Amino acid sequence: MTEVTGTATRSRFLPWSLGGLLVLLLAAGAYALGAGSAQRKAAAGLLRPDDAQVVATGAQIYAQHCAACHGARGEGQTDWREPGPDGLMRAPPHDESGHTWHHPDAQLIAITKHGLAQQIRQPDYQTHMPVYDGVLSDAEIVAVLSWIKAQWPKDIRERHDQTNAQHRKSPGH
């Protein structure tokens, strides 16, 4: 009778153990997928060019605060590498023809928030670019920059992601 009871107990236990094993495997797979997603997000940086809501918000803010100088599509001003009649540099493009994508996210955010003069540690540097600290929130700055990045071709976005990854690997980051 003990043998029969043991077999009956094992046959009732088997489905539960297989079910538990299945749950563990599914949880491990979900964790691995989540970790891969987190790694992709970490490689991409602080901007969110794949988040449609953030990009839509950024488009509105860009149109209101940036397009007058940098162009509706981020094309920048003509002869942007040359000073204008006032001696100040013209607004550069933010599309793939410009240099925006050469800079890591943190630097782009800092320039937008605190100004180029602070970023390059030259307090007397003059520019038409306003300082947006107190004008735009950090989330709004990220949204604008996310919209800009969303306009870049895939290969430029990938190169920018590499710039972010290299920046994090450099000493002090």
Q: What band does 101 get if pLDDT is binned at 50, 70 and 90?
A: very high
User: Is 1.10.530.10 the CATH number for 48-169?
Assistant: no
C-alpha span between 146 and 150 (Å, rounded): 6
User: Highest mean pLDDT: which of 42-46, 88-92, 115-119?
Assistant: 88-92
Among 120, 127, 111, 137, CA closest to 54? 137
Which pLDDT band, with edges at 50, 70 and 90, does 120 fall under? confident
pLDDT of residue 169: 74
Longest alpha-carbon distance in the chain: 102
Q: pTM of the full predicted structure?
A: 0.72
- Which tokens hold the place of 145? 């920059």
Model confidence over 125-148: pLDDT tens digits? 999 999 999 999 999 999 999 999
Residue 38 has pLDDT above 50, yes or no: no
State residue 168's pLDDT score: 81
